[in-house]
Amino acid sequence: MRILLLDKNHPLITEQLTAKKFILEEDFTSSYDEVCRKIENYDGVIIRSRIPLDKNFLEKAKNLKFIARVGAGMENIDIPVAEKLGIQLINSPEGNRDSVAEHVVGMLLVLMNRLFIASQEVKNGIWLREENRGDELLGKTVGLIGYGNMGKATAKRLSGFGCKVVFYDILPGLSDEFAEQVSLEELKERAEVISLHIPLTEQTHYIVNGAFIDGMKHNFYFVNTARGKNVETKSLVGALKSGKVKGACLDVLEYEKPSFENLEIENEDLKYLLESEKTIVTPHIAGWTVQSKEKLAQVIVDKIVAGFA
């Protein structure tokens, strides 16, 4: 089988698949149109986010048997078309779930204890104690929306901080020792922290909007390590200004490019998020650790070998 690699990943992908007699070719620079012109020559493609695999692309990929996404999200693939064409879809959320979970906890600790702010103040000769009084995770009810690989790993860590973790998911029967499944309405009634762990779909686009925020019983902290467009930014900014959202930890932004490599829109809402003391903003790196790079690649290799070797 001939496999085209469209993004740089851990070298173990090439090493291990080559050892299994797959033929791998790398192309990290060609444009969408250039790749479309040659994709019919390949049986498989391994991607991250550089090129969208839309209907036009997939219909030109006449011999494609699988698409392997090194990561969790599949929104840059036209899934209905791929399934109609009999193309198997592979992803690797198992590979970066631990990285995401640690990032969630890390951002919350930094935000709620004003660690970055206090550190910068001391470095600038400012010594304030009462103004930097923190807020503990212990005893808080955390509401997770989505309870797949990322949600479960996050719940496991938060339970160690003495949090009560509840979650909402469209699939039933997912409660475990770390979290209790509840309805979305009950989650909004109980949660003091909300963290998103969902894909981007028509149903989850702007799932956190003005109505969602207004429906929360408590003022709350908000975390998003899922997808930027899960959140209506203008509503989040309004809630931060009013105090309904006490603080926000954002690893993803509505204004990211589809490749996640940078921002494509700048406006007053983004300016507020970047300047506010109520926010922690990171550049889509929650799943981006030394360990996750290798684990993501290994999961992909194992699934390709299991299905096609």
How far apart CA 90 and CA 299 sit, in angstroms, is 10
List residues with catalytic annotation.
227, 256, 284
